[in-house]
C-alpha cells in the first residue's frame, strides 16, 4: 500500500480540480519506553518501521521522533543515534494523528 493512498482529497464547489490536503503530524515527545539505535548504511525510515512496527507506512513516526534528522528524505544520517518510539505508544500516536487530521 502506498502512503499516498490515505491522502485526503478535497474538492471545492467553485473549483472542480481535486486537491490533496496537507497532512499534519503530531509531535512525538521522548518516553522511557523508546528504543535508541545507531543507523547503518542503507537504513531507511520505512524499513525501520517495518522492523519495529510490522508496518512500513508508519515511517513518519520515526521521522517525526527525530527532529535533528533531515525531514525531506527517507534516509536518516548514517551512523547517527535515532529514537524509535516504542510499539506500545503507536495507538496513542495514531489517535493524535487522526485527531489533528480530521476534517
Which residue range(s) make up the domain with 83? 3-101
Q: Are 80 and 41 in contact (CB under 8 A)?
A: no
89-93: long-range pairs with CB below 8 Å, 24+ = 89/28, 89/31, 89/33, 89/34, 90/53, 90/58, 90/61, 93/26, 93/28, 93/61
What's the pLDDT score for residue 22?
Answer: 83
Say if residue 3's pLDDT is above 60.
no
Residue range 53-87, pLDDT digits in tens:
999 999 999 999 999 999 888 999 999 999 999 99
What's the distance, CA 24 to chain centroid? 10
Gap between the Cα atoms of 22 and 101, Å rounded: 9
Say if residue 6's pLDDT is above 90.
no
Read off the C-alpha cell for 29: 515527545
Residue range 16-43, pLDDT digits in tens:
665 566 888 999 999 999 999 999 999 9
pTM reported for the whole predicted model: 0.78
More confident residue, 20 or 88: 88
Say if residue 95's pLDDT is above 70.
yes
Instruction: Give me the number of domains the chain comprises.
Output: 1
Amino acid at each position: 500500500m502506498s502512503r499516498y493512498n490515505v491522502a485526503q482529497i478535497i474538492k471545492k464547489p467553485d473549483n472542480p480540480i481535486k486537491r490533496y490536503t496537507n497532512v499534519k503530524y503530531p509531535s512525538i515527545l521522548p518516553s522511557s519506553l523508546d528504543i535508541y539505535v545507531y543507523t547503518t548504511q542503507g537504513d531507511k525510515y520505512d524499513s525501520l518501521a517495518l522492523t519495529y512496527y510490522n508496518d512500513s507506512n508508519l515511517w513518519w513516526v520515526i521521522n517525526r521522533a527525530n527532529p535533528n534528522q533531515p525531514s525531506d528524505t527517507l534516509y536518516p544520517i548514517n551512523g547517527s543515534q535515532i529514537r524509535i518510539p516504542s510499539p506500545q505508544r503507536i495507538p496513542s500516536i495514531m489517535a493524535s494523528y487522526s485527531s489533528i487530521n480530521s476534517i
